[in-house]
Amino acid sequence: MGSSQRNKSVEAYFLGEKFQIERVGTDGDLKLFHQKLVELDGQVDAFGLGGTDMHIYAAGKRYTFRQIEKLASAAVKTPVVDGSGLKNTLERETVQYLQREGIVDFAHSKVLLVSAVDRFGMAEALDATGASVVYGDMMFGLGVPIALRSLGAVNKAAKVLLPLVVQMPFSWLYPTGEKQNTITPKWTNFYDEANVIAGDFPYIRRYMPETLAGKIVLTNTTTAEDVEALTKRGVKTLITTTPEFEGRSFGTNVMEGVLVTLSGRKPEDLSPKDYMDLMAKLNWKPRIQTLNT
């Protein structure tokens, strides 16, 4: 659903298997999105839904966006994933790994997590470290100036709001298409207060201020242009949870598609342990880049 300006195609090998990985942006065009799924159904091994979520989670409960579920149903032969499997496993493990190895001391950090219901594994792992976290779901998702300062508060708000939110058009909640190329600084005081900015990069990018001097950014999908923008703003360290290919990292949805393909099984048949076992075989570790000293 994202901008076509961020398109990329690469070849890569995983466990001896050659993969062609391609990111195709539809600029928020629902008809084109549907058309691409129909055209490629049965022609590819997996679809990763990008620039959108099909599922979000809070307090162990899954909520499904009806609009996206309907679109995804156009694929009847090829499995469709939205990254939820890796958000629950890889991103949770990434926080634990960074804390365990002394790379980031979350226990003594102030963190801005732009959306907890989108990165529920990351949210729960950050909470477990004892980090001081501002959860930006109300601000970044709904445009409401309310900062949630505990996971319990997120879960209470989610219980009331998410049954309604998942009925809305997804574009109301998330930057799709050309909106992904626009930066309009907002919620600047929350960026300023945090020393770690975490979560989905289009959310982070959408409102980031002109300076992020000395910050750590923990995210997933970044292009060379994104890295340049963060470097210009003074970000100290960029950590991406997914591997880099030819200068960019792909989203959790893409990498989940890789793991599903390697497994030879349906996404619904894979447990968190299955994902963790595959990632252990691949020896995936977060990519850590020092942008400014």
How does pLDDT run across 200-215, given as a tens digit for each residue?
998 999 999 999 999 9
Examine the pLDDT at 178 and tell me if it is beyond 80.
no
- For residues 262-287, give the mean pLDDT: 92
Amino acid letter at 164?
L
The total of structural domains in the chain comes to 1
Cβ neighbourhood burial of 100 (10 Å; 0-12, 13-18, 19+): exposed
| Half-sphere exposure at residue 187, Cβ-oriented, CA atoms within 13 angstroms | 28
Choose among 21, 286, 282, 17: nearest CA to 274.
Answer: 282
pTM for the full predicted model? 0.91
- For residues 35-46, give the mean pLDDT: 96
Examine the pLDDT at 263 and tell me if it is beyond 80.
yes
Query: Out of 110-124, 136-150, 208-222, 247-261, which region has the weakest mean confidence (pLDDT)?
Result: 247-261
- For residues 69-78, give the mean pLDDT: 94
The whole-number pLDDT of residue 75 equals 96
Cα separation, 226 vs 193, in Å, equals 22
Largest CA distance in the chain: 50
Examine the pLDDT at 249 and tell me if it is beyond 80.
no
Cα separation, 71 vs 74, in Å, equals 6
Contacts of 49 (CB under 8 A, 6+ apart): 1, 68, 72, 80, 81, 82, 83, 253
First to last CA, the chain: 35
The whole-number pLDDT of residue 251 equals 83
**Run of H or E including 286:** none
Examine the pLDDT at 159 and tell me if it is beyond 90.
yes
Burial 60-75 (b: 16+ CB within 10 A, else e): eeebebebbeebbebb
Question: How high does pLDDT run on average in the chain?
Answer: 93
The whole-number pLDDT of residue 177 equals 67
Q: Could you tell me the residue range of the domain that residue 196 belongs to?
A: 1-293
Amino acid letter at 250?
F
Examine the pLDDT at 4 and tell me if it is beyond 80.
yes
